[in-house]
Structure 1
């Protein structure tokens, strides 16, 4: 099916782009994934981040140590529960990250300019549902209850 082949190629190209971005920033792939999750859904507790990233908490500790040393995230006490810790992205670093994605973002803007709003809404819905299906597949492989998995925005 052409859709599956196209999605597979898109996934591969985005993975390669992320690898190049990570190399420029001296971040491992998993570090960049976790940073993206914190930027998109944070602040998050380390437990919530580990669950979203599909990582063992001990593995996540090493990831957070690297991200914190690099100035990408901070671990702060939760104002609602001083015993809990939240991971927050350092927004001032985002310009550097976004600059590396600028070429891809400009290309996406040009591509989207060729579609009307109804077509863009249809495509966005398809991609959201595809992302949800991917999250469900990850949960199944990880042996989790898919109903507990966070859905895309």
Structure 2
């Protein structure tokens, strides 16, 4: 005999569905926010995505960036050209690489304040939102987001492979 009543199971399904719908809406809203940031910076959305990857993960080769971004290396070359012309990244020879032609893509740290300013209202709003949660709730939210991100990464990798 099940310890969950049919009403409880139905309520759980509704709640799970509502969470999934909210995550999709969040993805859409963040995508729209990033689009506006890209527009203000006169970048393409994919350029901002690649810049974010370099800022978040540190210097990397163009090949590594292409893999992380799920882009063809030839496509990435154009993106890197635009980011470099706009002063967002540098491409530097990697002195430790076996291949002397190898380069590392680095974000130009001096440009960070310009980028952060465009997200400042959202960050301040998030700080206000977080103030309404206690430490245990924040830990639960952080765990949920970490685990959801990992699931998304796995799903992305599986789609990329197949």
TM-score (norm 1): 0.91
Cα distance between partner residues in 1 of 2:43 and 2:142:
29
Detail structure 1 runs of 4+ shifted over 2 Å in the superposition: none
Report the counterpart of residue 147 of structure 1 in structure 2.
Answer: none
Return 5+ residue gaps in structure 2 as ranges.
1-16
Structure 2 residue matching 1:115: 3-state secondary structure:
coil
Report the counterpart of residue 11 of structure 1 in structure 2.
Answer: 27
Return 5+ residue gaps in structure 1 as ranges.
145-153
Cα distance between partner residues in 1 of 2:133 and 2:95:
44
Structure 1 residue matching 2:133: 3-state secondary structure:
coil
Of the two, which has the highest radius of gyration?
2
How far does residue 83 in structure 1 lie from its aligned partner after superposition? 3.6
Structure 2 residue matching 1:76: 3-state secondary structure:
strand
Output the aligned Cα RMSD. Answer: 1.0
Cα distance between partner residues in 2 of 1:30 and 1:64:
11
Structure 2 residue matching 1:8: 3-state secondary structure:
helix
Which string of whole-angstrom CA distances, capped at 9 and with x for unpartnered residues, describes residues 65-112 of structure 1? Answer: 000000000001113224421000000001000000001000110011
Report the counterpart of residue 151 of structure 1 in structure 2.
Answer: none
The question of 1:97 aligning with 2:110 is answered no
Report the counterpart of residue 52 of structure 2 in structure 1.
Answer: 36
